Amino acid sequence: MVYSKNNELNSALDNNLVRQYRPRILFSAINGGSGKTFITSGVIAALSARGLKVQTFKKGPDYIDSKWHALASGRKCYNLDLYLFKDHVISSLFEKSADADLSIIEGNHGLYDSIDSEGLGSTAFLARHTQTPVILIVNCHKMSRSVAAMINGFVNFEKDTKIAGVILNQVSGKRHEDKILEAIEINCSVEVLGVVYKTNSVNLEQRHMGIITTEDKPEVKDVMKKLQNIAEESIQIDKLIEIANQTQPLIYHRQNKIMESVNVIVRKEKSITIAVARDAAFNFYYPDNLEALENEGANLIYFSPISDATIPKADGIYIGGGYPEIYALELSRNLNMKKSIFNLCENNLPIFAECGGMMYMSEKIIWNDIEHEMVGTIKGNSVMHKKPQGKGYVELIRENNAIDKPTLWEIPDGTISRAHEFHYSVLENLAENTDLIFTMKRGAGIINHHDGIIYKNLLATYTHFHSLASPWWAPAFVNACQKNKDNR
């Protein structure tokens, strides 16, 4: 089979418009929990095993599914988010897939689910926005002929959404399969591209924030091999390649400054070093964020708050989200690490602590009435609850008049950011003199619809920022590190 070369420029439409081939398909489903990540990861692994360069993308704010895609492809998985950075979606898809043979996008929730009634934030809208054909995954558990009715409903709901094929999941056996296929053949115009039996399921365990992360699955490579084998045996991989290669070229505007800024990146000379916490407890990082720090002139080095004794020499620290509550015992026992971070913060080292990182910087993590001592810089306790205490998109504004204490974090007054939050914990018994610099126009934040604890040069938030939606973030972080380095 001959594959399209994605990096070949097709033609210039005029001086400002260019179109270029980027073979791509998008996997979606009837509803969440239908097996999207299970099937998508297997297909990615199967394509990669054939020697293809597969660039993966995940719709919406997500860290966990992206890890499985990155493992399957051997490449970073990037996010495409219509709410956070709609103007960057095409440019990001265009740039990140430049050297790939094809791209795989995984949607979120059901195909037409959206935060608004018009569906402007749906996976279907993303498919139309990027002109990407959809492969619809249908969980057939306890259904037969009704599967055909559901498929027709999805095909006809928004007819400009191109559903190029369906994959049937959770099929109980040959008899069940025959009934469903007959109903689809009689009543539907869409092609069935795969049938995955229940017996082929691989258990990707669930916990309170989604499926288990790759860091927490010791046999992760074996699991991925099983997913690959299931995809190769149950799904028409060659047909998926054919559909991807028939996709319309992406069209972009040369004159669009957003496009130019993304595709022609001027990387600053490396001048400062940021130590990034990365282990089983802290591993929620967007590749775009890390790359944005590097583009601003930061050299990134990595350390483990669980197992390392001290912080490597650096001009700043980035502690992202993750599962510190699950590893609270191990984190609490690493006294040298906690003391090292505490002292560095007291000595004005710039630190960005995001969600799980903020929990680590508090005095204690409390879960099921079990208390574990953390770093202790933030005077308050991170108390876990059974239900989410903040979940979804947020919008927040920077208010400089919120504090009158000096800090190296320079964020322009009135800066509005779209971002997201997802946390089961609440900061309780927070000290009354705690300074918070963000007001939440939408979202929960830390307390009373405020977020962003500032203490010396520590900025700690429940909010997860994405560099494409919050272009101030990487420059502000790197500049704080540079100023502190210069002061020393």
Distance between CA atoms of residues 299 and 162, nearest Å: 43
Q: In this structure, what token pair is assigned to residue 184?
A: 């689809």
Question: What gap in Å lies between CA 457 and CA 450, rounded to an integer?
Answer: 18
The question of whether 355 is a catalytic residue gets the answer yes
Q: Residue 473: what residue type?
A: W
Integer Cα distance of 427 and 414 in angstroms? 25
CA dihedral 111, 113, 114, 118 (to 10 degrees): 90
Q: What is the DSSP string of 303-361?
A: E-TTT-SSPPS-SEEEE-EE-TTTTHHHHHH-HHHHHHHHHHHHTT--EEEETHHHHHH
Q: Catalytic residue among 140, 188, 345, 355, which?
A: 355
Among candidates 140, 91, 128, 404, which has minimal Cα distance to 255?
91
Strands 458-461 and 351-354: parallel
Please check whether residue 282 is in contact with residue 305, taking contact to mean a CB–CB distance below 8 angstroms.
Answer: yes
Which is nearest to 480 in space by CA: 283, 278, 314, 284? Answer: 314
Query: Whose CA is closest to 277, among 238, 308, 247?
Result: 308
- Block residue for tokens 């918070």: 436
Active site residues: 355
